[in-house]
Structure 1
Amino acid sequence: MRCYNLWINGKDVPAIGGKAAIRKSPAHGADLASFALGTAGDLNAAVAAAKSAEGAWANSGCIERAALLTKLADLMEAKLDQLAEIEAEEVGKPIKDGYGELSHSINLTRYAAALAWEIPGRAQTHHGTSALGIVSYEPIGVVGMITPWNFPAVTLFQKLPYALAAGCTVVVKPSEMTAGTTLEIARLAKAAGFPDGVINVVTGKGSVVGNAMVEHPDVNMISFTGSTPVGQQIGEKCARQVKRAGLELGGKAANIVFADADLDDALDGVVLGTILNQGEECVAGTRLLVEKSIAEDFSAKLAERMSMLRVGLPLDKESDMGAMIHEDHMNSVLDHIETAKKEGATILCGGGRLTGGDYDKGYFIAPTILGNVTPKMTYFREEVFGPVISITTFETVDEAVALANDTEYGLGNGMWTKDIDKAHQVSKRLKSGTVWVNTFLDGAPQMPFGGYKRSGLGRENGKEGLTEFMQVKSTFFRLGKRSKSLPHTA
């Protein structure tokens, strides 16, 4: 079993209270890791370290910061096998997904390193010969980052390298269930040459460490990924302090399949959008909207593909899907399925817990398809966070758009069509921060990510992911001899 302390000012530091949480595998029940349960006092020490390092780091050159980020990416690549295994085991996801997540995190780091060379700024030289304006971007200061359990690496690396490239210092509060990769990467950052205090990690409960972070006067910004209800609470607390908050929250994505799509491609993309990370994904394509003329055939083929998926242990290279994060969450997903059945949905595939053999040691749910789901049903409206997809039919483009937008969330949506005019017009009408066309859960580091409506505030990745952690300053110079605006005195 791996045992971790906190990471403060470049050192392993035990938690003040000496308490720890044991993370057991959600797939096979074995002890995986021990994480220190930090306190408000530990958080204070981490913030003090970040505050102390802030000035020198902010004033370091962009070339230096880029070089350190590139070195960190190199070290992560060298440790890819270890990091991917930790990610897979602690979350319960297939190892191939662990590799994918860490590889994407490395790419995000390399991209952020490149952005460090391109920190924006401009000179305003058109105010006449006696004036000069400079618009500059400065790091916001100490950033508190709160990351969730479902994608510990990617949710961190959609924040961390951009904040570091901007010149900010950070304190990270990962989930106490899946903090292994975060702590390993903090150690790699020291090996890469990052100064002590620039990156700090305090594990523990959100109600203790997270709350202390949000309330701390020396934390200049909170960057949070998690549920909408918790994000609302953080946003309210930050608003009272006039503190910036970046909030990447929940979703209820629609995946629209038009009759003119490449249906084989659409089937593949719909399956991926349902089972990636066991459906524990804020932008999972949980609402499948299918044009009525193809719905019966498409639904049958989808059920056939879903029933062929291999649900297995995290380190099994043949596994397509793993275990739910813990028993309570598994039961919550199963309750949603039962509620859908009571409200009139039909089970086309799956629908229950997997048992027998290795399944009895973990929290596994069969990939599930719910048929005959209407917008009034609970499943259509609430985020479920499991390997469950619903099918709702439509007849017109306007109906498809209305169904997709009939949600309080707006993180992502997808569509499948070979009509480029339709794709362009529909994408403009969908109320979400991301729209995928003939793909799903896809993209590149250069593309900003974030939500409309109750899916959050701010953007991660892309150039916007850099400026998210920066303040804009206007400096205006008057040149030459000043023209007096007040009368001369003797």
Structure 2
Amino acid sequence: MTPLETESGVRRYGLFIDNEFIPASTETYIDVTNPATGEVWAQVPDASEADVDRAVASARKAFEGDWAGWRAADRAKFLIRFGQAIADNADEIAQLQVDENGKLIREMAGQARLMPEYFNYYAGLAQMPTGNTNPLHLKDIFNYTVREPLGVVAAITPWNSPLLLLVWKLGPALAAGNTVIAKPSEITPVSTLRIAELAAEAGLPPGVFNAITGLGGPGAALTTHPGVDKIAFTGSTATGQAIASAAGKSLKSVSLELGGKSPNIVFDDADLDSAMNGLIAGIFGASGQTCMAGSRILVQDNIYDEVVEELVIRTERIKVGNPQDDTSEMGTIASKAQYDKVLHYIEVAKNEGAKLVAGGSPARVEGFEDGLFIRPTVFANVRNDMRIAQEEVFGPIAAVIPFTDEADAIRIANDTEFGLAAGVWSQNIQRAHRVGAQLKAGTVWINNYRKTGYATPFGGYKQSGVGRENGPNALLEYTEEKSVWVDTGQGVKDPFNPRA
């Protein structure tokens, strides 16, 4: 990318529409801040409704023009080229995300290297939606179904894993033949602009993939725009509810991957060394800023004190530091607003009577005095009706809750408005499967945690979302099904004079 440079040295970007960077219709820009240093390093436009109209018109023109003529095999070849372009630029893509959200470079580098595999997977599935022939109760009638792309898709993405969660949408949407407008979080917009540029460099026709930036206005405009056929959103439950309500007025298709308050359940027969690794990764990976975080740690009461004690030891060993340092084990909170929210919930938990046993305060990192670092935090003696156990914090706070037996564990685990994920730790495989079958969650991990992949679906029950991402059926989320009836007999008879 070749951004403009302001007098202060801050990089200034445009919107990406029709395969080129263009200025927005407004002169309002949003600062992009490095949360580890506190420095503003980039600016992006706060797009207007007129800019949204332009992006939608571009996507609609492409959908009905050049892109419509591409065979599924052509789309598959493009996805492979796109994946290779990402692989060739993986280091840059990882670095942009670290500069935006303060996650560890090793985590962002791993995601960047994985993303091409998602495109390769959907390249293989691009010709999958073949339809069916259907037996009928009628004579001389033949029926078949076909799958067709929806049209223009708005992909509204969050700041915690901005590109991986965009790829979850881009892969199936493009494979199915749709065009896409990406609206990233204002906290992490630059990496998405770079991905859009790489798509153009890989040979995507103008308008097939546009990227616009801004605060809440562009997302709201996309949600209600008559030229948008589907909203694919990842983010908070509250925002997802607002999107579903707004999109419902025009009956747009929606897929929503929302919040969670996931239980990570440890039985007394668990392999505790393995379980402890899963607990730590489940809540402190990505500084707890992940929808699938195992933020409620449910521990059987006869091993509760032992687990809490070991959890405290392990938590206090975590190295909070510079996200660019490969030895750092936890980076920053992504924004000042989120940083303040996490600290607020620590005070909420204290006031509710939860016992703070580790962390609970900002972390000081030498050389990064303005960084948004928080020590990994553990609360014990938590009741499941406490706010710390019911509300999504999206930060490095573990709430440890005791339970007595299987029935109690299942009751506590399901006693939440969310249903995104859950973990079960037990060496009794019958018990593990028995409990997993009763958990109201879209993903259940048994003796592991926080694993995802392109070949298997991800999504939630209850307030955690609508629809599924990844896996073969995700492709169908971006299609319409058409039923076609063909007369193979002697023509249609007069319905009012059947003897004629």
TM-score, length basis structure 1:
0.97
- For residue 78 of structure 2, what is the amino acid of its counterpart? L
1:365 and 2:374 matched: yes
- The secondary structure found in structure 2 opposite 1:460 is coil
Q: Per-residue CA shift, 1:177-219, capped at 9, x if unaligned?
A: 101221111111111111110000010012x101111111010
Quick one: distance in 1 between partners of 2:32 and 2:425?
A: 40
Per the alignment, residue 164 of structure 2 pairs with: 154
CA contact (8 A) 2:187 2:335 kept: no
- For residue 122 of structure 2, what is the amino acid of its counterpart? A
Of 258, 264, 268, the match for 2:277: 268
Q: Following TM superposition, by how much is the alpha carbon of 1:34 offset from its aligned partner in structure 2, in angstroms?
A: 1.7
Quick one: distance in 2 between partners of 1:485 and 1:157?
A: 53
Deviates more, 1:357-366 or 1:245-254: 357-366
> In the superposition, relative to structure 1, how do residues 461 and 67 fare at CA in structure 2: closer, same or farther (>3 Å)?
same
- For residue 392 of structure 1, what is the amino acid of its counterpart? I
Q: Following TM superposition, by how much is the alpha carbon of 1:319 offset from its aligned partner in structure 2, in angstroms?
A: 1.1
Q: Following TM superposition, by how much is the alpha carbon of 1:95 offset from its aligned partner in structure 2, in angstroms?
A: 0.3
CA contact (8 A) 1:89 1:315 kept: no
Of 360, 376, 385, the match for 2:385: 376
Per the alignment, residue 338 of structure 1 pairs with: 347
- For residue 131 of structure 2, what is the amino acid of its counterpart? G
> In the superposition, relative to structure 1, how do residues 356 and 53 fare at CA in structure 2: closer, same or farther (>3 Å)?
closer
Q: Per-residue CA shift, 1:389-427, capped at 9, x if unaligned?
A: 011111100000111101000111111112111111111
1:385 and 2:394 matched: yes
Q: Following TM superposition, by how much is the alpha carbon of 1:232 offset from its aligned partner in structure 2, in angstroms?
A: 0.8
Quick one: distance in 2 between partners of 1:152 and 1:62?
A: 27
Q: Following TM superposition, by how much is the alpha carbon of 1:169 offset from its aligned partner in structure 2, in angstroms?
A: 0.5
TM-score, length basis structure 2:
0.95
Aligned residues: 489
Quick one: distance in 1 between partners of 2:342 and 2:403?
A: 26
Quick one: distance in 1 between partners of 2:99 and 2:411?
A: 40
Of 10, 15, 31, the match for 2:19: 10
CA contact (8 A) 2:265 2:423 kept: yes
Quick one: distance in 2 between partners of 1:356 and 1:182?
A: 29
CA contact (8 A) 2:320 2:365 kept: no
Per the alignment, residue 101 of structure 1 pairs with: 111
Of 280, 297, 307, the match for 2:289: 280
1:33 and 2:42 matched: yes
Per the alignment, residue 181 of structure 1 pairs with: 191
- For residue 90 of structure 1, what is the amino acid of its counterpart? E
CA contact (8 A) 1:88 1:97 kept: no
Per the alignment, residue 325 of structure 1 pairs with: 334
Q: Following TM superposition, by how much is the alpha carbon of 1:59 offset from its aligned partner in structure 2, in angstroms?
A: 4.1
Quick one: distance in 2 between partners of 1:276 and 1:58?
A: 42
CA contact (8 A) 2:263 2:422 kept: yes
1:61 and 2:86 matched: no
CA contact (8 A) 1:32 1:90 kept: no
CA contact (8 A) 1:38 1:202 kept: yes
Q: Following TM superposition, by how much is the alpha carbon of 1:18 offset from its aligned partner in structure 2, in angstroms?
A: 2.5
Segments of structure 2 that go 5 or more residues without pairing to the other structure are 1-9
Q: Following TM superposition, by how much is the alpha carbon of 1:317 offset from its aligned partner in structure 2, in angstroms?
A: 1.1
Quick one: distance in 2 between partners of 1:229 and 1:243?
A: 18
Segments of structure 1 that go 5 or more residues without pairing to the other structure are none
Quick one: distance in 2 between partners of 1:465 and 1:378?
A: 34
1:47 and 2:86 matched: no
Written as runs of structure 1 = structure 2, the 5 A alignment for 1:311-460 is 311-355=320-364, 357-460=366-469
Written as runs of structure 1 = structure 2, the 5 A alignment for 1:161-180 is 161-180=171-190
Q: Following TM superposition, by how much is the alpha carbon of 1:142 offset from its aligned partner in structure 2, in angstroms?
A: 0.5
- For residue 253 of structure 1, what is the amino acid of its counterpart? S
- For residue 369 of structure 1, what is the amino acid of its counterpart? V
- For residue 98 of structure 2, what is the amino acid of its counterpart? A
- For residue 124 of structure 1, what is the amino acid of its counterpart? N
Quick one: distance in 2 between partners of 1:282 and 1:381?
A: 14
Quick one: distance in 2 between partners of 1:260 and 1:379?
A: 27
